[in-house]
Chains A and B, each alone.
Chain A
Amino acid sequence: AQRVTQPEKLLSVFKGAPVELKCNYSYSGSPELFWYVQYSRQRLQLLLRHISRESIKGFTADLNKGETSFHLKKPFAQEEDSAMYYCALSGNSNSGYALNFGKGTSLLVTP
């Protein structure tokens, strides 16, 4: 069965500090993972996907199949990074590639 776990409901860091939002998954096939972000009063939007191996707004995430993890990292947090972050696992073609979300981590960056 597919499962996405985000162990932290809330993460609070100071501006300029490194931040890591944890995500672990369980999936029998080859996983496709995403990070979505929801800023205050805005809709969910894609932050990054593992297949792109890109860095968006200074964030990166590496898929570690051995640890079944896809942690989101940023070396120097900014106040505008404060938001709700969701890790998501894509189903296969049988599910229309619907997303299976973790419960989210609220990141608060304080000055």
Chain B
Amino acid sequence: DAGVIQSPRHEVTEMGQEVTLRCKPISGHDYLFWYRQTMMRGLELLIYFNNNVPIDDSGMPEDRFSAKMPNASFSTLKIQPSEPRDSAVYFCASRAGTGLGEQFFGPGTRLTVL
């Protein structure tokens, strides 16, 4: 297994543009998490899914952010419209089963909004 896959690895866009980040979790994992990492706030949970269903999106900063998981092998995080303060590294992680299974992280997407 290649682990959690994220694309793109780097994204540079202009303010106001739509940005879509993609994640493929490890096969068989039924939890998927999106985190954002910034210098000021560190790593923050944005949203998580269980069996493709969004469970808690209280960490999503604004309505400009949305996330979907149409099937067990794919999730997207969309920002529309993007703003410079959205610049950060966005991580996707997945985990199997119940209890304290290890979370496996993707390599992250570094987003720069000009």
Most A Cβ at <10 Å: residue of B42, B55, B56, B107: B42
A46 with B50: CB separation less than 8 A: no
Tell me, in angstroms, the Cα distance from A68 to B30 when the chains sit together: 31
Of A10-18, A74-82, A93-101, the one with at least 4 CB within 8 A of chain B: A93-101
A46 with B107: CB separation less than 8 A: no
Q: How many residues of B are counted as interface, with CB atoms below 8 angstroms from the partner's CB atoms? A: 27
A-B contact count (CB 8 A): 54
Residues in A neighbouring B95, C-beta threshold 8 A: 97
Tell me, in angstroms, the Cα distance from A96 to B57 when the chains sit together: 12
Chain A 55-98 interface mask (CB, 8 Å, partner B; 1/0): 00000000000000000000000000000001000100101111
Q: How many residues of A are counted as interface, with CB atoms below 8 angstroms from the partner's CB atoms? A: 22
Of B13-21, B62-70, B80-88, B96-104, the one with at least 4 CB within 8 A of chain A: B96-104
In whole Å, how far is B5's beta carbon from the nearest beta carbon of chain A? 11
Most A Cβ at <10 Å: residue of B91, B93, B100, B108: B100
B100 with A101: CB separation less than 8 A: no
Is A103 among interface residues, defined by CB-CB distance under 8 A?
yes
B55 and chain A: residue at smallest CB distance = A96
Tell me, in angstroms, the Cα distance from A17 to B99 when the chains sit together: 37
Is B90 among interface residues, defined by CB-CB distance under 8 A?
no
Q: A43-B107, A44-B91, A45-B105 are in contact. Are A97 and B42 (CB under 8 A)?
A: no
Q: A96-B33, A96-B56, A97-B95 are in contact. Are A46 and B103 (CB under 8 A)?
A: yes
Q: Which 3 pairs of residues, A with B, have the shortest CB-CB distance?
A: A103-B42, A101-B43, A44-B105
Interface of A toward B, CB cutoff 8 Å: 32, 36, 42-46, 49, 51, 86, 90, 93, 95-104
Query: What are 14 of the A-B contact pairs (CB < 8 Å)?
Result: A43-B106, A44-B93, A45-B105, A49-B100, A95-B48, A96-B31, A96-B33, A96-B55, A97-B31, A97-B99, A99-B103, A101-B35, A102-B42, A103-B41
